[in-house]
Structure 1
Amino acid sequence: MTWTRRASSGTPDAHPHQPCDQQPQRGRVCRRCRQLQRRMWRYGLTIARFNAVLRVQNFAIALCGDNEEEDDFGIPHTKASNWHIDHDHTCCGPGSSCGNCVRGLLCRQCNMEYLPAYERLPAHMRDSALFNTYLTDPPAQRPEAEVIKGRDNMYLPTSHAFLMDRKFADALEAAAG
């Protein structure tokens, strides 16, 4: 199996570990990138904005702080992303977003169980500083979450995705050798 680098307009700079037989036939990006693009489009985000929010959250889940997800944040990828895009449902309702009400990136459990349960509590019972801070000052709406050109829209050797790719490539070499 040969490995290629492919630059495309919708994907950050390159996919260093994408097999030739998985290259898109007609599309400009691979299937996983297209799935992530569609999901981000539903929430009014771009890849650069997604990366900026991850950067503000220190590449960890905003509520539980877990950064041991078994994925590499979606792009470039070794697995599908487990990250959920959280937004304020009072603005746009469930399932999509205007992009202005995106609050942050959460794991499934935080997004589907913990945060909704906390939001359903009466105001006098909401005493968690962590949840209150997240709801009043969401990571995606902070000034530092603005896209930094040359960082958030690029695939750089200092990015988390690059480090995960290196780890994946090392594992492939170890398995082959």
Structure 2
Amino acid sequence: MRNCSASGDDWTCDRSSDRYRLTKGLCPAHYSQFNRGRPLARITRHRSTPGGYLPCAFDGCDRAVSARGLCKGHYDQWSAGRPLAPLRKKRDSASYQAMLRHGVVECLGCGESKPVSEYSLLNRGGAPRPYCKPCHAERVRLALYGVTRDFLDLLLRHQRGSCAICGVSEQETGRSLHIDHDHACCPGRGCCGACVRGLVCSNCNTYGLAWYEALPPELRTFDLLNGYLANPPAKQLRAGAPAQGG
């Protein structure tokens, strides 16, 4: 076991390799300081928290603060302009290898233990991804549109569980609602997250909005779509407006 090599005139970091991964002999917080060209400084302590370290300000995260009140993982999300989201859970290599030997792996997303065949491959070595196929697809979708699962759940509840335009529900169509965003802000499939407008069914997204927004402004006379485009559900949600139909 080795301790972090960071020290000062009146302090020495006592973080050890049995709890923290050391890089260049430094714990994650001090390596972050070193990597940014900052002088190594004492990590903030807090008497009321286990281990004496001030925890990350993100709700439910118990990792030590690295910068701006956030742990390194959440600070990286913030600095990249992404919505703060729970970090990937950690599991030790021994338990993971044991699961592989039995051919059943616990998904870090849904928490279910599933056969290895239910996971796509992470690399050429054949190692399965830490998330099952549905959970991995959902993570890719959320990252593509710059939103969190909590935000989409709130948005769907705001829309009374149905398409923001025609009112059809996911249960009726048997398919998930599409995430609609303003293509004037972010052309293409993905977006920054700030221009997400609402959740709509496949028909409204493909044959309604795509066709309607391609029309010249003088031909856009459909009040239902004009109302959606002028004040979409996501804008209402961010403004604290009551749920649709409420």
- Structure 1 runs of 4+ off > 3 angstroms? 22-28, 143-146
Matched, 1:143 2:143: no
RMSD: 2.5
1:144 positional shift: 5.6
User: Following the alignment from structure 2 to structure 1, what is the Cα–Cα distance between the partners of residues 144 and 197?
Assistant: 14
The aligned amino acid for 2:174 is E
Matched, 1:35 2:137: yes
Answer whether contact 2:181 2:195 (CA < 8 A) is retained: yes
- TM-score scaled by structure 2? 0.45
Matched, 1:65 2:167: yes
Q: Give the structure, 1 or 2, with the largest relative contact order (CA under 8 Å, sep 6 or more).
A: 1
The aligned amino acid for 1:32 is P
What is the count of residue pairs matched by the alignment? 125
Match for 1:113 among 166, 187, 207? 207
- TM-score scaled by structure 1? 0.61
Mean CA deviation greater in 19-28 or 83-92: 19-28
In 2 relative to 1, CA 54–110 (structure 1 residues): closer, same or farther, beyond 3 Å?
same
Alignment of 1:3-82 (within 5 A): 8=108, 10-11=109-110, 20-21=114-115, 24=119, 26-67=128-169, 68-71=172-175, 82=176
Answer whether contact 2:142 2:148 (CA < 8 A) is retained: yes
**How far does the alpha carbon of each residue in 1:42-87 deviate from its partner, in whole angstroms, 9 at most, with x for none?**
110111111111111111011111011214xxxxxxxxxx321111
Of all paired residues, the percent bearing the same amino acid is: 37
User: Following the alignment from structure 2 to structure 1, what is the Cα–Cα distance between the partners of residues 107 and 134?
Assistant: 15
- In structure 2, the partner of 1:122 is 216
User: Following the alignment from structure 1 to structure 2, what is the Cα–Cα distance between the partners of residues 92 and 47?
Assistant: 20
The aligned amino acid for 2:161 is F
User: Following the alignment from structure 1 to structure 2, what is the Cα–Cα distance between the partners of residues 36 and 7?
Assistant: 13
In 2 relative to 1, CA 145–64 (structure 1 residues): closer, same or farther, beyond 3 Å?
farther
Mean CA deviation greater in 96-105 or 29-38: 29-38
1:36 positional shift: 1.3
Q: Secondary structure at the match of 1:90?
A: coil
User: Following the alignment from structure 2 to structure 1, what is the Cα–Cα distance between the partners of residues 164 and 204?
Assistant: 9
1:102 positional shift: 0.5
1:120 positional shift: 2.0
Match for 2:195 among 101, 121, 127? 101
- In structure 1, the partner of 2:48 is none
User: Following the alignment from structure 1 to structure 2, what is the Cα–Cα distance between the partners of residues 100 and 52?
Assistant: 15
Unaligned stretches of 5+ residues in structure 2: 1-105, 120-126, 241-246
Name which one, 1 or 2, has greater alpha-carbon Rg.
2
The aligned amino acid for 2:188 is P
Answer whether contact 2:107 2:114 (CA < 8 A) is retained: no
